């Protein structure tokens, strides 16, 4: 996938109620900052100016969030009723989420269940990261469960990596928990 630009918004699905786009990595979903030129919000306004709703803060009703560095399907509701319906689906946990990740090291078990409390890292220089309960500087950890399935093995820059499928069961910070685990998989003994 090439870097994000105003023109290269990839639409995965579109109806009268929703539009689902493939969000690029390293792009914000929305921003009111004048210097933030590349956002999904600006891509949508460029491609679909007629769908922007001036009655909303960002012009569009984003049904969920994806981190700046995360790419993948992002659902946008095109009216209040659709936004309400999507909200209820997320709230009632009727939405199935799955993520692909490339993990440093070799994950030896084919299927894993991660069950950790995840919190915000307050350590200087690491405040953008999450951490597991018991880690120095870990603030307000909350339960988080994720199922991990190994898909394949390979190398990246000469180092071993494992491609995994992540399926969250509980916890809104699940993918961040896996990132916290993935950065030190060997030390965590399978995290």
Catalytic amino acids? 67
Nearest-angstrom CA–CA distance, 31 and 178: 27
Tokens of 85: 């319906």
β-bridge mates for residue 117, sequence order: 143
Sheet holding 130-132, edge to edge: 99-104, 159-170, 138-156, 111-121, 130-132
Secondary structure class of 85 (helix, strand, coil)? helix
The answer to whether 22 and 69 are in contact (CB under 8 A) is no
DSSP notation for 48-84: -GGG--TTSSSSSEESS---TT--EEEEEESSHHHHH
Tokens of 141: 């950890």
Strand blocks (E) in 78-110: 99-104
Angle at 10 between CA 57 and CA 128, to 5 degrees: 60
Tokens of 59: 């012009």
């Amino acid at each position: 996938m090439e870097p994000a630009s105003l023109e290269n918004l990839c639409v995965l699905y579109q109806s009268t109620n929703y539009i689902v786009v493939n969000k690029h990595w390293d792009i914000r979903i929305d921003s009111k900052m004048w210097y933030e030129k590349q956002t999904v919000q600006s891509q949508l306004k460029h491609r679909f100016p007629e769908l922007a709703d001036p009655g909303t803060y960002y012009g569009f009703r984003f049904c969920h969030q994806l981190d700046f560095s995360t790419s993948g399907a992002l659902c946008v509701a095109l009216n209040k009723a659709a936004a309400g319906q999507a909200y209820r689906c997320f709230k009632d946990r009727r939405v199935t989420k799955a993520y692909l990740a490339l993990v440093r090291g070799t994950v030896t078990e084919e299927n894993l269940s991660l069950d950790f409390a995840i919190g915000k890292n307050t350590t200087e220089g690491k405040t953008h990261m999450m951490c597991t309960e018991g880690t120095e500087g870990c603030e307000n950890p909350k339960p988080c469960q994720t199922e991990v399935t190994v898909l394949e093995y390979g190398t990246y820059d000469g180092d071993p990596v494992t491609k995994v499928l992540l399926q969250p069961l509980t916890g809104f910070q699940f993918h961040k928990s896996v990132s916290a685990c993935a950065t030190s998989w060997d030390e965590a003994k399978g995290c």
